[in-house]
A and B are shown apart, each in its own frame.
Chain A
Amino acid sequence: MSKINVAMTVNGKAVSAEVEPRTLLIHYLRENLSLTGPHIGCDTSHCGACTVDIDGKSVKSCTIFAVQAAGAEVLTIEGMAGADGKLHVLQEAFREMHGLQCGYCTPGMIVRAHRLLQENPSPTEAEIRLGISGNLCRCTGYQNIVKAIQYAATKINGVEFKEAAE
């Protein structure tokens, strides 16, 4: 099958590559653009490790063809930190709150949490848990991931983070 040119904006940069229509977005990102932040976890639309942001939607990039995202604005974990290398508040939050152990799910978690906080800047704990229910973590038990997202939300909202008593 002949290749087609697929162009989009990824992390603010215009990119393009010649790919087959059957090329999944995760392969386009990892193999054509060498953006290996988004991970291939389950490869069956369950785990969310491949989550990227496409035009303001959290999407599992293993379940969309690159050509479907032609012309779109895509954000991956590589686009979260500032140009000067300063961590995004969510990245800082995951570090501060120990929101990861092996780190495999983290790129998807952070990109998903970013969209969640864009849509709901002050989520309750229950809303955070539902909001990241499409992202699986097999290490942390989610506790510190939820805390990290709460920490980031308070930072963004300019209030002091208070850790709940356990």
Chain B
Amino acid sequence: MIPGSFEYHRPSKLSDAVALLGSLDNDARLLAGGHSLIPMMKLRLAQPSHLIDLAAVTELKGVAHDDGDVVIGAMTTQHEVIGSELLATSVPILREAAMLIADPQVRYMGTLGGNAANGDPGNDMPALMVTLGATYVLRSASGERRVAAREFYLGIYETSLRPGEILATIRIPAPPKGHGYAYEKLKRKIGDYATAAAAVVLTVSDGKIASCAIGLTNVSDRPLLAKDAAAALIGGALDKASVAKAVAAAEAIVSPAEDGRGSVEYRTKMAGVMTARALARAFARASV
């Protein structure tokens, strides 16, 4: 399969990349890891006239602490996320989730920013970012804009990214030390998107859940923040009754598509099962 023709650009500065994107407008697509875009181009489902490769923009790489946030450059690859000691210590759920994305070859190329910004409900990082309360720093020729991950996703491949904007960095408020976390993903095989997946980040104090956020992957047209499910758990221990309440609240907000991964009923139930498993693991991991 041969993609359509395009002109290739390889800026080395973010300012050049946004200037280029601004001037070429709708005819251009950004190339990050390319492992979503290039398959689409080979199928001719995407036929951009220009590709702006961000691989040489070094300012879009790297992981750092800044002002209580963990700041990750959008071009940081999944492989680099997995290998980052800083992330393993501060936001370990990212490594756990990245290990479940695609396969080793794809993780060497696939980027955090591409995964987050593409708007594909099958991608794992969006639900993680929604759970962690991340903020996306968007750059364009006219400056910088910040959008909460929880406001970013509008539908399938639909985000609040405007023409001419690049997701430059992701800022994650560092979860408190001793927090519990887990990402549970049900998939048919390596490389598959989730049948359903759940992310949980919580803190425990005196045996009771003090804070909790739950995100769900691939069971709607966008990543979901299961607010009622999390609210049902605050102030109590994690027991059978509270988990049942949370699971019911999570199942109530999903609307998965029926596909090769299963029926609507099955995928709904699996969203509940993943929520319960992630809660159990996250609770066990939290310092009390």
Contact = CB atoms under 8 A, between A and B. Distances in A.
Given A1-B6, A21-B6, A131 B35 contact: no
B106 A65 contact: no
Contacts of A134: 102-106, 190-191
Interface string A4-36: 100000000000000011101001000000000
* Size bracket, chain B contacts: 20 to 34
B34 A63 contact: yes
Interface string B137-171: 00000000000000000000000000000000000
Contacts of A45: 35, 38-39, 106
Interface residues of A, number: 29
Interface string B195-206: 000000000000
B104 A22 contact: no
B159 to A, nearest CB: 23
A46 interface: yes
B115 to A, nearest CB: 15
A4 B8 CA distance: 10
B39 A21 contact: no
A46 B105 CA distance: 10
Interface stretch (A52-60, A82-90, A92-100): A52-60
Contact of B104 (A20, A24, A63, A112): A112
Contact of A48 (B7, B10, B105): B105
Contacts of B222: none
Interface string B203-227: 0000000000000000000000000
B188 interface: no
Interface of A: 1, 4, 20-22, 24, 27, 43-46, 48, 51, 57-60, 63-65, 67-68, 112, 116, 130-134
16 contacts: A21-B5, A21-B8, A21-B51, A22-B4, A43-B1, A45-B106, A57-B108, A58-B104, A58-B105, A59-B109, A65-B51, A67-B10, A130-B104, A133-B103, A134-B102, A134-B191
